[in-house]
């Protein structure tokens, strides 16, 4: 996209857009002025107080100023207005971009959702929060309990930064909202179960995902992170599965509330070191009036290399929404290109792993479609008949039921990418082929993720001369996806871009 300030209207589907997403920070660094931060609002709302929710806050005010400034005009009487760009239609009470950005931060943004407490997702919130005023009330900061604990103990602690929260005698400029992982079961019914209010007309539900490994583990009873070998985990030592390895240099034994979070790595000396996973989040954001959704992922690692694979659970839920046509887009990271090896991912994704993850989603979508359509059920039985026909040239489809077992997301062993790709491509293409045949060439069956827009965020800039790293990443993603027949579209948004979904 040549114009970074473009206000792009998505055509993922017919009809009116449901969401507007404004990209304040599309990267994972190293520049501090465009790191992860999105503003999201329902397209059915006007720019009223509390009509926007922010997801991550690496860059906030500076991103708002930069997005607003080129589209502002000031009349002779000093009145400012914005008639183009992502903030078009917003009534501006002040004459400069910085004063209007402060107004947006104070009045228009209802809450800030934080996926995980790394600085590139939190720095803007910390630096910007002092401008909150009493008349606006405290800014709600919503996240999983471990994320709130990290912010509270390691950021807003009167050492790194003043305690601006309304807990422990702080200044009261922000208020923490601890989200229930997987959704709060006390709210909502049916499809709405678990969702909580994010801002006007938007609801959210948060699932935890894994983002690499570390030697600190959150303990819900102390509300703090402790070294995984720490004695605070001793009380529940009986819950340690015998297969778990223990750092024998520690007197205490290890415990994890979710036991799989702990694992071990053998050193050359035979001594073993315990690890925990870094917790990150995936936010399902739901538009109240239409029931349409998007998912915004925090930093995330592939299930195939994770100590605690948790992505599949997100895809299971997402697949039903893709099949129903309600999931419109996902925002997900792809920090590096494919030249990175699995040992150097540091809890992130690259194109081969992102597409392997999307393939899991695609498989689940096909499974949901087959389960819900009588016509498809017929296809399933037909597929079984083919399966027994070992001599058939279409025997590739016999591998379909085994995919979950062979999927790279279920092994901790890194295999060459080409091997996965060959298997993946054969299987998904076989499904599409068969469905096309079953339809007697009536109308071609769309690929499983057709209509789903995938926005790539958190690309790490190399700050080198030459093409931006996003070019190669996009090329690799599109090549993998096309070979696999996924059918989704990839985009890399720019800072200041307004996306209509
Ligand atoms: Zn990050
Ligand atoms: Zn991170």
Which has the minimum average pLDDT: 37-46, 101-110, 350-359, 364-373?
364-373
pTM (2 decimals)? 0.83
From-to residues of CATH 3.60.15.10 in the chain: 7-214+277-369+451-500
pLDDT of residue 372: 87
- Alpha-carbon gap, residue 368 to 319, rounded angstroms: 7
345-355 burial, b for 16+ CB within 10 Å, e for fewer? bebbbbbbbbb
User: How far does the centroid of ligand 2 lie from the alpha carbon of residue 211, in Å?
Assistant: 7
CATH number of 7-214+277-369+451-500: 3.60.15.10
User: How far does the centroid of ligand 2 lie from the alpha carbon of residue 285, in Å?
Assistant: 20
User: How far does the centroid of ligand 1 lie from the alpha carbon of residue 96, in Å?
Assistant: 31
Between 69 and 238, the more confident residue is 69
User: How far does the centroid of ligand 1 lie from the alpha carbon of residue 397, in Å?
Assistant: 39
Q: Residues 6 or more apart from 303 whose CB is under 8 A from it?
A: 309, 310, 311, 312, 357, 360, 409, 410
Considering 176-190, 231-245, 385-399, 432-446, the range whose residues carry the highest mean pLDDT is 176-190
Q: Are 209 and 310 in contact, with CB atoms under 8 Å apart?
A: yes
User: How far does the centroid of ligand 1 lie from the alpha carbon of residue 304, in Å?
Assistant: 20
Q: How confident is the model at residue 134 (pLDDT cuts 50, 70, 90)?
A: confident
Q: Which ligand is nearest to the CA of 460?
A: 1
User: How far does the centroid of ligand 2 lie from the alpha carbon of residue 300, in Å?
Assistant: 8
Q: Residues 6 or more apart from 45 whose CB is under 8 A from it?
A: 51, 200, 201
Query: pLDDT tens digits, residue range 231-272?
Result: 898 655 434 333 333 333 333 333 334 444 455 554 444 456
User: How far does the centroid of ligand 2 lie from the alpha carbon of residue 122, in Å?
Assistant: 10
Q: Which ligand is nearest to the CA of 35?
A: 1
Structure tokens given for 365: 């979508």
Read off the pLDDT of each residue in 261-284 and give the average, rounded to a whole number.
72
- Alpha-carbon gap, residue 344 to 357, rounded angstroms: 18
User: How far does the centroid of ligand 2 lie from the alpha carbon of residue 64, in Å?
Assistant: 22
Whether omega before 30 lies within 30 degrees of 0, making that bond cis, reads yes
């Amino acid at each position: 996209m040549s114009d970074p300030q473009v206000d792009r209207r998505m055509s993922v589907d017919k009809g009116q857009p449901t969401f507007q997403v404004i990209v304040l920070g599309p990267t994972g660094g190293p520049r501090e002025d465009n790191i992860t931060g999105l503003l999201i609002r329902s397209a059915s709302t006007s720019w009223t107080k509390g009509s926007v929710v922010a997801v991550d806050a690496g860059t906030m005010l500076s991103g708002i100023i930069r997005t607003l400034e080129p589209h502002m005009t000031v009349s002779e009487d000093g009145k400012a207005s914005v008639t183009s760009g992502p903030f078009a239609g917003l009534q501006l009470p002040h004459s400069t971009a910085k004063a209007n950005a402060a107004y947006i931060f104070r009045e228009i943004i209802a809450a800030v959702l934080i996926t995980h407490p790394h600085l590139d997702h939190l720095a803007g919130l910390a630096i910007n929060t002092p401008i909150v005023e009493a008349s606006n009330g405290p800014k709600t900061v919503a996240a999983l309990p471990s994320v709130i604990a990290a912010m509270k103990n390691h950021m807003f602690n009167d050492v790194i930064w003043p305690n601006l929260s309304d807990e422990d005698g702080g200044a009261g400029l922000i208020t923490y909202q601890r989200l229930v992982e997987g959704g709060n079961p006390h709210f909502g019914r049916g499809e709405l179960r678990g969702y909580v209010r994010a801002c006007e007309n938007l609801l959210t539900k948060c699932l935890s995902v894994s983002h690499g490994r570390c030697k600190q583990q959150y303990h819900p009873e102390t509300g703090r992170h402790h070294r995984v070998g720490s004695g605070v985990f001793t009380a529940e030592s009986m819950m340690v599965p015998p297969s778990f390895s223990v750092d024998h240099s520690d007197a205490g034994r290890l415990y994890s509330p979710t036991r799989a979070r702990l694992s071990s790595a053998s050193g050359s000396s035979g001594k073993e070191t315990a690890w925990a996973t870094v917790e990150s989040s995936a936010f399902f954001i739901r538009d109240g009036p239409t029931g349409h959704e998007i998912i915004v992922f925090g930093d995330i690692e592939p299930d195939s290399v994770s100590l605690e694979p948790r992505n599949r659970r997100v895809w299971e839920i997402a697949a039903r929404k893709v099949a129903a046509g309600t999931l419109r887009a996902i925002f997900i990271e792809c920090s590096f290109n494919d030249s990175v090896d699995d040992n150097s991912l540091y809890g992130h994704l690259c194109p081969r792993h992102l597409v392997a993850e999307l393939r899991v989603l695609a498989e689940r979508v096909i499974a949901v479609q087959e389960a819900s359509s009588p016509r498809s059920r017929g296809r399933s039985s037909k597929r079984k008949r083919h399966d027994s026909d070992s001599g058939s040239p279409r025997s590739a489809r016999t591998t379909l039921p085994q995919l979950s077992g062979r999927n790279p997301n279920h092994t901790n062993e890194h295999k060459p990418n080409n091997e996965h790709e060959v298997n993946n491509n054969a299987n998904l293409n076989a499904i599409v082929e068969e469905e096309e045949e079953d339809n007697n060439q009536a109308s071609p069956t769309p690929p499983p993720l057709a209509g789903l827009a995938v926005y790539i965020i958190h690309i790490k800039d190399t700050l080198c001369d030459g093409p931006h790293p996003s070019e190669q990443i996009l090329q690799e993603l599109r090549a993998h996806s096309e070979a696999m027949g996924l059918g989704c579209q990839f985009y890399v948004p720019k800072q200041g871009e307004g996306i209509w979904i």
